Amino acid sequence: MTNYTTVLWDLDGTIIDSAPGVFESFHHTFKTLGLPDVDDETLRTFMGPPLSDTFSKTLGFDAALTEKCLFTYRDYYLNQGGALNCTLYPGVLEVIAKSQAAGVTNSLATSKGESGTVLVGEHYDFLKYFDVLGTASNDRSRSAKADVISYAYEGLKKINADLTKVILIGDRIHDVEGARDHGIEVCLVQWGFGDEAEWAEADYLVSNTEELEELLRL
């Protein structure tokens, strides 16, 4: 008997290591717009939050510059190879496949935009493992993790998914905060982009896929 009826899955930092393409896209954006570049250690902290928040809140850019950055970044990420400069974390898709085979409903819950998610998902052929694609919207009206989870829930209710026991699998504090907003449990994986302070806020913490399988009781 599995532990959960429905599992929500973050994407970047949980299923895929998207850092190479994301870093490349940031560097391209700063260079193209003549802005000071940011080192890779700092860029790691940009993994997880909505892109618009990174430019506007973290970097302090005004609305006009934020829009320019978003356009430049997304053009490179979606059309010039940035999105596909990523790798799958070993064993994670196998866990999701086992979850699916056990009768659990699986949904993505990612702040990556729908276009980027589908692009990577089709490339690595993992969209078939998910009953619902809970993504950020391409127009950025839906990007915060709590909003993404709400969107995933709408899709899950349409297919009459069993939502009596739900868990979110992610890697950063934004996953924890989104899960808390919905009153669901959250597990952070240590192979992503989080740190010890973020891990301490989760209900569960796993360091490898074997521990994740054990938690999900697959």
pTM for this predicted structure: 0.93
Q: What is the pLDDT of residues 78-120, one digit of tens each?
A: 999 999 999 999 999 999 999 999 999 999 999 999 999 999 9
- Confidence band of 138 (pLDDT split at 50, 70, 90): confident
Question: SS3 for 143-161, per residue?
Answer: CCHHHHHHHHHHHHHHCCC
Superfamily name and number for 19-79: Putative phosphatase; domain 2 (1.10.150.240)
End-to-end CA distance of the chain: 8
Q: What is the pLDDT of residues 171-209, one digit of tens each?
A: 999 999 999 999 999 999 999 999 999 999 999 999 999
Superfamily name and number for 6-17+87-216: HAD superfamily/HAD-like (3.40.50.1000)
Domain locations in the chain as residue ranges: 6-17+87-216, 19-79
Region 12-26: what's the mean pLDDT?
96
Phi, psi (rounded to 5 degrees) for 113: -65, 160
